[in-house]
Structure 1
Amino acid sequence: MALFNSPSQPAKGQLLTEHGTAISSASSSKTSIIEGNQNNFVQEVVEASQKIPVLVDFWANWCNPCKQLTPLLEKIANATQGRVKLVKIDIDANQALVQQLMQIGLPIQSIPLVAAFWQGQIVDLFQGVQAENAIQQFVSQLLKTAGSAMPSTDLIEQGQSLLHDKKFDEAMGVFSQALELEPEKPEAWGGLIRSILASTGPEAAQESLEQVPESIQDHAEIIGAKSAIELALEGKKNTGETQALMDKIKSDPDNYQARYELATALNGAGKRNEAAHELLEIMKRDKSWNDEAAKKQLLRFFESWGFDDPATLQGRRQLSTLLFS
């Protein structure tokens, strides 16, 4: 959301000077969280935002909601590891600055107010106390606008790459680092649980699943990780029967129950493409078998593997071809 939508919007680089203000400049601080004021606003906010996104937190001692919001802002700013700067401005101690900002349309009469600056302009804002995950999304969007991302996002991408390369122990370490920065990041929890599942087994993965914060337990990443554990436990029961199941299918290719159990066992052994093949083979022969059990199980596989997993992408293409051919 852009703050200024009228023709009177200040031109880039003229945010304050257009109104003839006399805000002085001070030397810019390298600290990612600082106290802002009349003297350093241009340097620490307007000019600093040419290089790094800046959040400005307008607060006051008498504002109880501000006291709830500011610690969350500080926590998230620290989690960006210097990629976002937080400037806190006490509106009572900087009334002249507040008046100047209100003249250009910033609604500081209602606090707490957080304004996001990038390249000298206000690019977004919000008012009132927000949930931590909502603030994280706000900051993530600001970083995206600036062509950057949260450090945890970079770590998650690295962890996913390690997971796909079957470097499970390394992946666990990287996902753990991401959680140190953002303890409620569902993608990091999902990656960590899947890494533990692949490295150690479903019992250890279940222990990690139980540590997931309640606030993100309904997220698709967590639901998928939970499904992966359940399928691994099911597959574990059939792992020792793999050869026997294959023999049954060889004797009777239409033994769908054996194919279904073999698919579950193969999935438990990490053979995803082979597991999907058996379920697709059932569907080729009889789509409606056992109330479409093969299709339902295949969709569970996709959910547990993750929707960006190569086996999921390949399996979905094969499923679409089968259903619409």
Structure 2
Amino acid sequence: MNSTTPGSESREKGIATMEEIIGSAGPATNGTGPGNVIKDISEKDFMAEVIEASMQRPIIVDFWAPWCGPCKQLTPALEKLVTQAGGKVMLAKVNVDENQGIAQQLRVQSIPTVYAFYQGRPLDGFQGALPESQLRQFIQQVLEAAGGGDDENSIEALLEQADELMRQGQPEAAASLYAQVLEQDAENAKALSGVIRAYIGAGEMEAARAVFDELSEALKLQSDIQGALAALELAEQADGAAANLADLQAKIAQDANDHQARFDLAMALNATGQREEAADALLEVIRRQRAWNDEAARKQLVQFFEAWGPTDPVTVQARKKLSSLLFS
């Protein structure tokens, strides 16, 4: 990431700048990432990096070769899942063409072959490429056998803690946890979307926009990022609208069919955290004149749903009301 960062206001609010949050984060590969969770291993360092290292945490050894087709599917999947494990397990990659002695000692007869070591001994293993769901299960079983399956520092646990802090209205604290995730997995879409939402929660719209703008095109298409973008666009649209709540309510009191005023009121209500009232305002516009302004109320309500998330209680209830209006 480049040095485009929010200014001193972000530091005063306690949220790290974009450079601090994601600028230095990178994939943990080849022994250079956080915690060195993925390494290329040779015969000369197998004892130290696998046998001795497994006394501290499980080591998954991936026996592969450049010419092996299934290996090209398995290895990236293993790297992804090991990275997501947040340091609880390490992946050691052994090129059998260059390290035939190790392969012979462990009786590796076909590749890919994977062994899990713990406390200096093989714990489990398999041959052939497995789907990601089975690989995830394999790693979980290894961690449970090693007594580390419930480690609170895992990516999943960190994300859950950060999301809960966001629900409690603590974006600064949540941002620091999302940053910890990004230190382990720099392209974690949930964490990146969390950073964007944390900036929105702190009122730092420019910082949130900067984080989104610097993401790769592939990441921008992820559903979590799209949801954060919808929330950002709503926040940008509603900037300053909350101050007009009284005026908008007065306009509607004078003319109940002032759809623009009711639409603007919905935006202002959402900006002040009154989601249910915001949804009801748009639903009322749809009830009175569905086609108004090229169905602007319906389209805006859908954007609300995207920003709030599909499982948000207000989203669920408003969707039911919308369906009732559209299909009655």
Fold-level similarity (TM above 0.5)? yes
**1:152-191 counterparts in 2 under 5 A?**
152-191=155-194
Report SS of the residue matched to 1:209: helix
Q: Is the 8 A contact 1:53 1:116 kept in 2?
A: no
Q: Is the 8 A contact 2:114 2:125 kept in 1?
A: no
Mark the CA change 1:280 to 1:145 in structure 2 (over 3 Å): closer, same or farther: farther
Question: After superposition, what is the alpha-carbon deviation per residue over 1:153-177, rounded to whole angstroms, capped at 9, x for unaligned?
Answer: 2111111111111111111111111
Matched, 1:125 2:129: yes
Mark the CA change 1:84 to 1:293 in structure 2 (over 3 Å): closer, same or farther: same
TM-score, normalization by structure 1: 0.67
2:270 & 2:177 partners in 1: Cα distance? 25
Q: How far is the alpha carbon of 1:236 from its aligned partner?
A: 1.4
Amino acid at match of 1:180: E
The residue that corresponds to 1:290 in the other structure is 293
Amino acid at match of 1:94: I
The residue that corresponds to 1:205 in the other structure is 208
1:53 & 1:294 partners in 2: Cα distance? 54
TM-score, normalization by structure 2: 0.66
The residue that corresponds to 2:104 in the other structure is 96
Question: After superposition, what is the alpha-carbon deviation per residue over 1:69-116, rounded to whole angstroms, capped at 9, x for unaligned?
Answer: 979966863652443342444422235347x443xxxx42xxxx3647
Q: Is the 8 A contact 1:53 1:143 kept in 2?
A: no
Q: How far is the alpha carbon of 1:282 from its aligned partner?
A: 1.5
The residue that corresponds to 2:61 in the other structure is 56
Matched, 1:306 2:306: no
The residue that corresponds to 1:257 in the other structure is 260
Mark the CA change 1:154 to 1:36 in structure 2 (over 3 Å): closer, same or farther: farther
Report SS of the residue matched to 1:308: coil
Could you list the runs of 5+ residues in structure 1 that have no partner in the other structure?
1-30, 127-133
Mark the CA change 1:79 to 1:225 in structure 2 (over 3 Å): closer, same or farther: closer
Mark the CA change 1:208 to 1:93 in structure 2 (over 3 Å): closer, same or farther: same
Q: How far is the alpha carbon of 1:253 from its aligned partner?
A: 1.6
Report SS of the residue matched to 2:302: helix
1:285 & 1:142 partners in 2: Cα distance? 56
Q: How far is the alpha carbon of 1:121 from its aligned partner?
A: 4.9
Q: Is the 8 A contact 2:113 2:126 kept in 1?
A: no
**1:270-285 counterparts in 2 under 5 A?**
270-285=273-288
Q: Is the 8 A contact 2:62 2:115 kept in 1?
A: no
Matched, 1:241 2:250: no
Could you list the runs of 5+ residues in structure 2 that have no partner in the other structure?
1-35, 118-122
2:81 & 2:240 partners in 1: Cα distance? 44
1:114 & 1:213 partners in 2: Cα distance? 33
1:116 & 1:254 partners in 2: Cα distance? 69
The residue that corresponds to 2:31 in the other structure is none
The residue that corresponds to 1:3 in the other structure is none
Greater C-alpha Rg: 1
Amino acid at match of 1:188: A
Q: How far is the alpha carbon of 1:295 from its aligned partner?
A: 1.3
Mark the CA change 1:53 to 1:254 in structure 2 (over 3 Å): closer, same or farther: farther
1:123 & 1:251 partners in 2: Cα distance? 74
Question: After superposition, what is the alpha-carbon deviation per residue over 1:242-294, rounded to whole angstroms, capped at 9, x for unaligned?
Answer: 21111111112222111111111222222222211101112222333333221
Mark the CA change 1:241 to 1:114 in structure 2 (over 3 Å): closer, same or farther: farther
Question: After superposition, what is the alpha-carbon deviation per residue over 1:113-139, rounded to whole angstroms, capped at 9, x for unaligned?
Answer: 36476973538726xxxxxxx98x886
Report SS of the residue matched to 2:61: strand
Question: After superposition, what is the alpha-carbon deviation per residue over 1:3-59, rounded to whole angstroms, capped at 9, x for unaligned?
Answer: xxxxxxxxxxxxxxxxxxxxxxxxxxxx9778598xx99xx79xx8xxx87633114
Amino acid at match of 2:154: P
Structure showing greater relative contact order (alpha-carbon pairs closer than 8 Å, 6 or more residues apart):
2
2:88 & 2:262 partners in 1: Cα distance? 52
1:125 & 1:310 partners in 2: Cα distance? 41
Amino acid at match of 1:96: Q
The residue that corresponds to 1:269 in the other structure is 272
Q: Is the 8 A contact 2:231 2:308 kept in 1?
A: yes
User: Identity rate of aligned residues, in percent?
Assistant: 34
Count of residues paired in the alignment: 267
Q: How far is the alpha carbon of 1:182 from its aligned partner?
A: 0.8
Amino acid at match of 1:209: F
Q: How far is the alpha carbon of 1:232 from its aligned partner?
A: 1.1
Q: Is the 8 A contact 2:38 2:91 kept in 1?
A: yes
2:293 & 2:191 partners in 1: Cα distance? 36
Q: Is the 8 A contact 1:267 1:275 kept in 2?
A: yes
The residue that corresponds to 2:221 in the other structure is 218
